[in-house]
Structure formats: structure tokens, C-alpha cells
Chains A and B, each alone.
Chain A
Amino acid sequence: SYVLTQPPSVSVAPGQTATITCGGDNIGGKNVHWYHQRPGQAPVLVVFDDSDRPPGIPERFSGSNSGNTATLTISWVEAGDEADYYCQVWDSSADHVFFGGGTKLTVL
């Protein structure tokens, strides 16, 4: 089983930068994808393959991945960014998708 570790919560003031980490054993060797989920809604893909953005996702969302940590960075945070954020990988050795435990982003 491949474990992805996220901080339970991150808080940031509007206009500041939020950083959400996702730790895993040699995660830098995998492709990491990020989703956000607002209360009562379905998850939405915000970053894929470490740092690419789907159509419609603002440039404020960016990602990186190296060593044992992948990072989602949200610049110029807005109130609408408040949500739960999940990282995800595919472990080809186990034929299994793994999600991190999720991080609740609070905009102060």
C-alpha cells in the first residue's frame, strides 16, 4: 500500500499564497494529480501530471514534485478557493490508485 500524507489543514489570508504538501516514498518518480472539493460538491481536477492545468483552471494554481514531496501552490488566494484538496497517484506496481487524506484549506 502506497501512503500519501497531507496536512489536515492549511489556513491563509486572502491574497496570500497557500502551499499544500503531499508526501510519499519517492513520489517524485510518480505523476501526481490534485483535486479540490467544495462542501456538498463533487471533486474537480485542478492540476495533473505534477504541474499541468486542465482547461478553465486559473494560472494561480500550480504544482511541483520532487523527492518525497509534491506541492500544490495557490497564489493570490480567494475566498472561493476554500475547499478540501486531495493529491492522487497511480501505483503501477500495485495497479492501484491512491489518494492522500485531504487538506482543508481555510481562507481567513
Chain B
Amino acid sequence: QEQLVESGGGVVQPGRSLRLSCAASGFTFNSHAMHWVRQAPGKGLEWVAVIWYDGSNKYYGDSVKGRFTISRDNSKNTLFLQMNSLRDEDTAIYYCARDRERISMILSYWGQGTLVTVSS
């Protein structure tokens, strides 16, 4: 059974860093691009980043470009999001999601999310 489990969320002060992880199981991890998507409290979905199935390409949303870094370890079936220079507006639930194919930009399965709260 397919599963995505995010971890690493918590309360962090503005300007600090946090690293999120997403442990994948139940599918061939290295055959799918992976995404991070966030949702601020009471708001809609905002795409954060994507990484190709082999890690060869990475793209970012405009609001996180230059501050966040997506990466993956295919040997450990794990996706990461390194978040630096955090701001109040980065407060959100962060979801990892599996792409439907190697690279299709269709987010076919989502984890349950991890909450990040940026506050002093």
C-alpha cells in the first residue's frame, strides 16, 4: 500500500531554518518526480517545488526560490525540503506528493502533511 509520511515540522523563529522529510513506501520511488505543496491556514494550495525522478532537475515556486532547496535520496526512498530564512508567511501545512509518472506534473498521491509554524 502506497504511503507518504512527512516529518520535521514544528515551531521555528523567523530567519531560522528547518528541514522537512517525506518517507515513501509502497511504490517505486526512483521512478517518480516528487513535489512539495503547502497550504497556509484557511487558504488554498500553493506549489513549492518539484524534483525529477532522478534528481536531475529541480524547480521552485516564486515565493520560495533562493530560500528553499528540494532534494531526494533514492537509496532511502526519502524526499527532503531544506527551508532557510523562514518568514511568517511560510507558516503552512507542507504536503509531499508523488507525481503520476516520471515527469507529468500530475500530483497523484499526497501525504497527510506536516505543520510548520514560523513565529517569534
CB-based contact B50/A42 at 8 Å? no
Interface members, chain A 90-108 (any B CB < 8 Å): 90, 95-102
Number of interface residues of A (CB under 8 A): 25
List of A residues within 8 angstroms of B28 by Cβ: none
Please provide the chain B residues from 77 to 119 with a CB less than 8 Å away from any CB of chain A in the complex.
95, 97, 100, 105-113
**Contact across chains for A96 and B61 when beta carbons are under 8 A apart:** yes
**Interface residues of B, CB < 8 Å — how many?**
22
* A86-B100 contact, Cβ under 8 Å, with A42-B110, A95-B59: no
Name which of A43, A97, A100, A101 has the most chain B CB atoms within 10 A of its CB.
A97
Chain A's interface: helix, strand, loop or mixed, by majority? strand
Contact with B along A36-62 (1 / 0, CB 8 A): 010001111100110000100000000
Interface residues of B (CB under 8 A from A): 35, 37, 44-47, 50, 59, 61-62, 95, 97, 100, 105-113
